[in-house]
């Protein structure tokens, strides 16, 4: 709509112009139409004399806000419609990332390394325990069992090594 | 694969100095057993990692930019307002706060998706690194095995040392590369469709934000807000200023017209002519003074509007670049997957070299 601002002199003139702009804003059903309506309202605020049309400018400003809030709501709704698909894809990527990290750990032989380290620590702990036990201590039997287990472990490892050799 | 490598490392650590030939056979068999025909060199993941980083950064910044702009709109005025204006101000602030919160809640899902994309990229990097550092991994395992053997056997622990140990490390280094390449290939082939779907969704989400960053609606709303603030503070009346400008132009035009016209010769008419010129000159001067009095406010206002315009220009460019980065991310992923899919013959030269190393290692063991 072409508006002849040069003819606007009185409050009533400006009010009529604003009324037509508000009609346009109310009918704006697309993003483009809402944008044009908002631009026209800001143009109105820039052209109307503040001393005369201050209250009209406030109405124009609140209408610009309403158009903007509608645009934000439309964007929010669009993103909401994507939510389920994004959630599904997020899970797919997370699961694959987890599987890949496990594969990387495997390639780095982390489990083998950890097992060997913990076994070495267990052997060391056992040695310390045996050394600290007094003869006739009630834990002696436990220690003996442990030493037997250690001996068996050693025999098993030696046997495995023999077979490999 | 891991189980087999344990056995070899077991041999490294535990072989009690028996048949050296058997050790050699075991090492060769182990190496060749794990050497798959599809062995490939590891691809350069750099471009993919970079593309993923660009997407991650761009998506986060796009969301932050829109969030900040809505935040600016939600910021209440700090100037004294009457009761009606105060009520209207509270309502508009609350409305923008709610809109901002709702949009942010939806965008959080987009950010979560990008976080998952980043985690996937990092996992590919982890496989790549594990493949590259296979020799180091086996050295760590060998050290742990030696430590255990020392504890069980004391100083008499029979272990492979020197060249033999290096050969085993080298073998596993190649095996690790092959395993990494195989896993990368499998992962990227599996994820091909998901990557394209994710790229589509991210592009859609970015397009939604891009629409908000167009001159309408957020930029125009901010311009409206700045103007409203200047008007409420009575700092600037743009409409009035425009009228003064027009009046000044008209007065100046009339002055120039009169000045260029031929001056009347009759003394009375000449005096009237000069008086009119003087009056017009005074009028232009007065209007210039009015304009000058509003100039600082007008300059500050136009500066604020220009700052908004430049900021939105930059944000629009950034989102457009991020949309391109999303497309590039999917393209690089597809290219890498294709590169990994391309079957390459095993590098026989490496195998031959390894065989020689093993020979030398076993010889040194005798």
CA distance B29 to B23: 10
pLDDT band at B179 (very low <50, low <70, confident <90, very high): confident
With an 8 Å Cβ cutoff, is B214 touching chain A?
yes
B59-79: average pLDDT: 93
Chain B residues within 8 A of A107 when measuring between CB atoms: 127, 130-131, 134, 137, 176, 179-180, 183
Q: Which structure tokens are listed for B184? A: 């990368």
Report the residue from A48, A86, A123 with minimal CB separation from B239.
A48
The pLDDT value given to residue B220: 95
CA distance B166 to B67: 57
Give me the half-sphere count of Cα atoms (radius 13 Å) on the Cβ side of residue A157: 28
Q: What's the pLDDT tens digit per position in B180-234?
A: 888 888 999 999 999 999 999 999 999 999 999 998 889 999 999 999 888 887 7
CA distance B62 to B210: 8
| Tokens 């425009």, located at residue | B242
CA distance B138 to B173: 8
Q: Which structure tokens are listed for B112? A: 């979560």
Residue B333: closest CA among B325, B323, B344 = B325
Q: Which structure tokens are listed for A12? A: 């009533």
Can you list the pairs that B232-238 forms with residues at least 24 positions away whose Cβ atoms lie under 8 Å?
B232/B77, B232/B79, B232/B81, B232/B85, B233/B79, B234/A50, B235/B297, B235/B300, B235/B301, B236/A50, B236/B294, B236/B297, B236/B298, B236/B301, B237/A49, B237/A50, B237/A51, B237/B294, B238/A45, B238/A46, B238/A47, B238/A50, B238/B298, B238/B301
Q: Residue B52: pLDDT above 70?
A: yes
Q: Which structure tokens are listed for B137? A: 């991994």
Mean model confidence pLDDT for chain B: 78
**Interchain CB contacts (distance < 8 Å): A and B:** 280
Q: Which structure tokens are listed for B149? A: 């053997």
Question: What 8-state DSSP symbol labels residue B120?
Answer: H
CA distance B27 to B172: 11
pLDDT band at B8 (very low <50, low <70, confident <90, very high): very low
B253-275: average pLDDT: 82
Chain A residues within 8 A of B221 when measuring between CB atoms: 38, 64-65, 67-68
Mutation target to probe the B interface, by most B beta carbons within 10 A, among A86, A149, A157 is A86
CA distance B153 to B162: 20
Chain B residues within 8 A of A64 when measuring between CB atoms: 220-221, 224
Residue B127: closest CA among B179, B49, B180 = B180
A139 min Cα distance to partner chain B (Å): 22
pLDDT band at A6 (very low <50, low <70, confident <90, very high): confident
CA distance A120 to A112: 12
Chain B residues within 8 A of A116 when measuring between CB atoms: 141, 144-145, 147-148
């Amino acid at each position: 709509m072409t508006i002849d601002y040069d003819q606007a002199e009185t409050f009533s003139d400006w009010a009529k112009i604003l009324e037509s702009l508000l009609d346009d804003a109310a009918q704006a059903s697309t993003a483009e139409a809402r944008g044009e309506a908002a631009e026209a309202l800001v143009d109105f605020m820039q052209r109307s004399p503040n001393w005369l049309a201050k209250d009209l400018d406030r109405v124009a400003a609140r209408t610009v806000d309403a158009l903007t809030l509608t645009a934000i709501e439309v964007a929010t709704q669009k993103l909401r419609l994507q939510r389920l698909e994004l959630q599904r894809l997020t899970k797919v990527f997370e699961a694959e990332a987890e599987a890949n990290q496990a594969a990387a750990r495997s390639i780095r032989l982390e489990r083998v390394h950890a097992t060997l380290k913990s076994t070495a620590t267990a052997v060391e702990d056992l040695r310390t325990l045996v050394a600290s036990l007094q003869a006739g201590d009630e834990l002696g039997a436990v220690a003996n069992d442990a030493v037997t287990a250690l001996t068996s472990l050693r025999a098993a490892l030696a046997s495995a090594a023999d077979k490999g050799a | 694969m891991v189980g087999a490598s344990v056995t070899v490392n077991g041999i490294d650590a535990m072989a009690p100095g028996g048949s050296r030939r058997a050790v050699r056979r075991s090492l060769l068999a182990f190496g060749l057993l794990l050497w798959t025909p599809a062995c490939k060199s590891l691809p350069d993941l750099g471009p993919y990692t970079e593309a993923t980083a660009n997407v991650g950064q761009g998506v986060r910044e796009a969301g932050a930019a829109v969030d900040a702009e809505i935040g600016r709109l939600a910021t209440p005025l700090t100037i004294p307002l009457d009761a009606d204006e105060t009520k209207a101000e509270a309502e508009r602030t609350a409305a923008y706060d709610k809109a901002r919160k709702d949009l942010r809640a939806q965008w959080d899902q987009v950010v979560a998706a990008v976080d998952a994309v980043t985690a996937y990229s990092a996992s590919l990097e982890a496989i790549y690194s594990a493949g590259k550092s296979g020799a180091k991994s086996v050295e760590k395992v060998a050290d742990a095995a030696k430590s255990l053997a020392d504890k069980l056997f004391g100083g008499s622990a029979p272990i492979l040392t020197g060249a033999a140990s290096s050969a085993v490390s080298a073998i596993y280094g190649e095996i690790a590369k092959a395993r990494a390449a195989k896993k990368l290939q499998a992962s990227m082939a599996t994820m091909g469709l998901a990557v394209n779907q994710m790229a589509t969704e991210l592009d859609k989400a970015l397009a939604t934000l891009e629409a908000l960053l167009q001159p309408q609606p957020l930029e125009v709303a901010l311009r409206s807000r700045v103007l409203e603030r200047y008007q409420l503070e009575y700092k600037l009346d743009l409409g009035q200023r425009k009228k003064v400008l027009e009046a000044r132009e008209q007065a100046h035009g009339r002055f120039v017209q009169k000045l260029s016209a031929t001056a009347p010769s009759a003394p009375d008419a000449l005096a009237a002519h000069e008086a009119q010129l003087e009056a017009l000159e005074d009028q232009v001067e007065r209007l210039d003074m009015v304009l000058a009095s509003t100039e600082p406010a007008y300059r500050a206002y136009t500066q604020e509007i220009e700052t908004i315009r430049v900021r939105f220009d930059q944000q629009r460019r950034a989102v457009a670049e991020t949309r391109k980065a999303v497309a590039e991310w999917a393209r690089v992923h597809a290219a890498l997957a294709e590169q990994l899919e391309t079957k390459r013959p095993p590098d026989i030269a490496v195998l031959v070299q390894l065989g020689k190393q093993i020979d030398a290692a076993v010889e040194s063991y005798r």
